[in-house]
Amino acid sequence: MPGIRVAEFNDHIRMLNKYYQIITLNDAHKFLNSDPYPNVKNSILLTFDDGLSDHYLAAKILSKHGIKGTFFIPTCILIDKLPANPTIIHYCLAIYGIQKFLVMYRSALRKYNISMSKYNVSFKKGIDNPLGIILNVKSILKYKLKHNIARKILLYIYKNSLLRDYPNAMEIMHLTQDQISKMTKMGHSVGPHSHTHISIASARLTEKDFVKEVINPKKILEDLFHVPVIAFSYPFGLRQDCLTQQELVNKKTEYKLAFTIEEAVNTKNTPSFELNRCSVEIRNRNNVKNLKNDLEKNINANSYIHK
Ligand SMILES: [Zn+2]
């Protein structure tokens, strides 16, 4: 986190601490289970997705303010020592630009004999809107290709760019096991964000892949960090990415809570496997007042913020 964002993050935390009650994941669980839980009005849970390297600094800052956050981690960063899917895309686009990214993407399509006519994406500088092209290639990788094929393409790109140019790419991008261990010792909670960061509902996973992406990550975190893991955060988190309450109940997982990114306040009536969150990007909401206004729009009883 650059200095300016650290200062801003500190300001945000101070404001949240002043106007709201920042609760823990266990508090949220108790509240949803109707256990006696006083003063839930204006309560906020802070969650962080993707296991990004700068979350370690965020965890230390929260700790300094006496706050316990919840960090959702794609377990591939721990077990496979490989980055999550969107992290590969974001870093490659930032470092190499869209042209070079698409050259690598096409080369992966050729390598794995994937239909060029169906999935090729091209970009003409000065003619095409880069944002539209990026959304298109993201949507192909997220929804149109099978999740295991998309993963192969992204790992091919990663190994031929980021990993080649930055041997410590993993530490630049993601939290290390040691950092997560320290974060749990600070009292923060952890939960899975699937294994490789895929759209769980739209992937129509086989039983084996559901175990790999949803069931096993809980055990992985519990075994590595010796903490109870009660919550899952759906990658991407929109309706098309998340199972419904009933669908997840039918899967008989051992989770108690699951988080989407639907922007709304959670009440006692919110299904515990369809929890809402308000998404906050510090760089897009560049002052504390904006953040407070956004929250006020959402909050009347109890809400969760997602960072
Ligand atoms: Zn994510």
What is the distance between the alpha carbons of residues 269 and 33, in angstroms, rounded to a whole number? 10
Q: Ligand 1 centroid vs 143 CA: distance in angstroms?
A: 15
Distance (angstroms) between ligand 1 centre and the Cα of 177 equals 18
Distance from the CA of 38 to the center of ligand 1, in angstroms? 32
Per-residue pLDDT of the chain (307 residues; tens, 9 = 90+): 666 688 889 999 999 999 999 999 999 999 888 766 656 668 899 999 999 999 999 999 999 999 999 999 999 999 999 999 999 999 999 999 999 999 999 999 999 999 988 999 999 888 999 999 999 999 999 999 999 999 999 999 999 999 999 999 999 999 999 999 999 999 999 999 999 999 999 998 999 999 999 999 999 999 999 999 999 999 999 999 999 999 999 999 999 999 999 988 888 889 999 999 987 765 555 577 788 887 787 765 444 554 4
Amino acid identity for residue 93 in this structure = L
Residue 71 CA to ligand 1 center (angstroms) comes to 11
**Distance from the alpha carbon of residue 127 to the mean position of ligand 1, in angstroms:** 31
Q: Residue 217: which H helix or E strand, with range?
A: helix 216-225
CA atoms within 13 A on the CB side of 16: 29
Ligand 1 centre from 139 Cα, in Å? 14
Element (H, E) at 45: strand 43-49
- The answer to whether the beta carbons of residues 294 and 277 sit under 8 Å apart is no
CA 307 to ligand 1 center in whole angstroms: 10
Burial class (CB in 10 A: 0-12, 13-18, 19+), 298: middle
CB 233 within 8 A of CB 191: yes
CA 84–ligand 1 middle distance (angstroms): 8
Distance CA 205, CA 158 (A): 24
- Cα(191) to ligand 1 centroid in Å equals 12
